[in-house]
Amino acid sequence: MTISDFTLYELQKATRNHGMPLEGLAYDVTPIGMHYVLVHYDVPYVSATTWRLQIDGRVARSLVLSLDDIRSRPRATKRVTMECAGNGRARLTPRPRSQPWLEEAVSTGEWTGIPLASLLQEAGIHDDAVEVVFTGLDRGEQQGHQQLYQRALPVEEALRPDVLLAFELNGIALPPQHGFPLRLIVPGWYGMTNVKWLSRITVLDKPFWGYQQNVFYRIAAHEDDPGIQLSRMYPRSLMIPPGIPAFETRERLVPPGTITLRGRAWSGWAPISRVEVSADSGATWAEAELGAPSGIETWRTWSFRWTATEGRHELLSRATDAAGNVQPLEPVWNVHGVANNAVQRVIVAVRPDIEG
């Protein structure tokens, strides 16, 4: 990869949106400010006093709620790992034109809010309800489609007890870039599901059609391929960068000897059941030790004792979940550059002059 490969178009996005520096994998909960950010259009300015949430469509009673109304209800807090579906996009050749993530578009937040199901029950959703549409306040144009940011969930998913309408991240009011004053949190699903700056929740008796649902966020082999709509996160494992970085290349420098490699793995389909590590570019693999089990909601820690010998090495880690999904060794290209969960490759130079 050379920097000149990247276009001004991508740089404009990369300077607005930011990833989690991978040393942030050391934290169970990503500190605010290190949590990755992805904003399609502009961060809307929202006044907490005039903002309202509207719930309508196939419901017995439409509701209009203020932030105080929402905050006064029984609340719940959930630790949730969120990953952008475009994570890994910049590794594809040719590179689809969008936010050029390498591997850093993942974080874990502690989200506080009210269960979505409680509001839907209060509104009384009709038996013919099929999907629930979430509309944000942000608006823009993408591929000629002018739109408010909208995504839908099947009713069964919307009624899951762990789905939240969140007004806090890590114990403070949502920062503007993370969706102030209210956002959706759907554990296990890719980032685009978690609609920020929510203004409206609409219950439909037929499937929703929208740009962010049916055009983008599909794994499609070519533009006209209907492909598959994305939902849950495919498994991925990442390593806390070992040793120290070289400023120019960000290659890792470590002294010879035994070191413990550590990282995190997650999957939205089933709990992580296995992580393997290769210290020879994938020729041989060995089992990493897994930390405490986690469900589909949060990442799981892993560790691996590695005897570093002088020279350059390519370190890989590969996650498998309990449903049998495993990370591919090579990226699988698709039009929008989504769901590329190919294994990460970390180049390490082992040198005796590096201080331990």
Ligand X SMILES: Nc1nc2c(c(=O)[nH]1)N[C@H]1C(S)=C(S)[C@@H](COP(=O)(O)O)O[C@H]1N2
Q: Which of 22, 38, 82, 233 binds Mo ion (CB under 5 A)?
A: 38
CB of 40 to ligand X, least distance (A): 3
Residue 96: what residue type? P
Residue 140: what residue type? G
Count of residues interacting with ligand X (CB under 6 A): 18
Which DSSP helix (H) or strand (E) runs through 277?
strand 272-278
Which C-beta is closer to Mo ion: that of 57 or that of 268? 268
What is the C-alpha separation between 42 and 137, in angstroms, rounded? Answer: 10
CB of 352 to ligand X, least distance (A): 41
CB of 117 to Mo ion, least distance (A): 24
Q: How many residues does the chain have?
A: 356
Among 1-9, 33-41, 120-128, 334-342, the segment contacting Mo ion (CB under 5 A):
33-41
What is the C-alpha separation between 4 and 200, in angstroms, rounded? Answer: 42
Which C-beta is closer to ligand X: that of 19 or that of 115? 19
CB of 215 to ligand X, least distance (A): 14
Which C-beta is closer to Mo ion: that of 259 or that of 296? 296
Q: Is 24 in the site for ligand X (CB under 6 A)?
A: no
Q: Are 328 and 343 a contacting pair, CB within 8 Å?
A: yes
Q: Is 36 in the site for ligand X (CB under 6 A)?
A: yes
x-or-dash pattern for ligand X, window 90-129, by CB under 6 A?
----------------------------------------
Please choose, from the candidates 190, 210, 235, the residue with its C-alpha nearest in 3D space to the C-alpha of residue 338: 190
Q: Could you tell which of ligand X, Mo ion, none binds residue 178, using a CB distance below 5 to 8 A set by kind?
A: ligand X
The three-point CA angle 292-296-302 to 5° equals: 35
Q: Which of 59, 92, 192, 201 binds ligand X (CB under 6 A)?
A: 192
Secondary structure tally for the chain: helices H, strands E: 4, 22
CB of 272 to Mo ion, least distance (A): 21
Residue 163: what residue type? V
- Strand, coil or helix: 90: helix
Among 31-39, 66-74, 203-211, 253-261, the segment contacting ligand X (CB under 6 A):
31-39
Both tokens assigned to 76? 């719940």
Among 60-68, 90-98, 189-197, 310-318, the segment contacting ligand X (CB under 6 A):
189-197
Q: Return the sign of the alpha-carbon dihedral for residues 314, 320, 324, 327.
A: negative
Q: Is 279 in the site for Mo ion (CB under 5 A)?
A: no
Q: Could you tell which of ligand X, Mo ion, none binds residue 335, using a CB distance below 5 to 8 A set by kind?
A: none
Give residues with Cβ within 8 angstroms of 112, minimum separation 6.
Answer: 75, 76, 77, 164, 166, 167, 168, 169, 171
What is the C-alpha separation between 278 and 315, in angstroms, rounded? Answer: 6
Q: Is 84 in the site for Mo ion (CB under 5 A)?
A: yes
Q: Which of 22, 24, 25, 35 binds ligand X (CB under 6 A)?
A: 35
Which DSSP helix (H) or strand (E) runs through 71?
helix 67-71
Q: Is 191 in the site for Mo ion (CB under 5 A)?
A: yes
Where in 145-164 is the site for ligand X (CB under 6 A)? 149
Q: Is 334 in the site for ligand X (CB under 6 A)?
A: no
Which C-beta is closer to ligand X: that of 133 or that of 279? 133
Tell me whether the omega of the peptide bond preceding residue 181 falls within 30 degrees of 0, making it cis: yes
Residues at the site binding ligand X, with contacts judged by CB under 6 A: 35-40, 82, 84, 136, 138, 149, 178, 191-192, 194-197
Residues at the site binding Mo ion, with contacts judged by CB under 5 A: 38, 84, 191-192
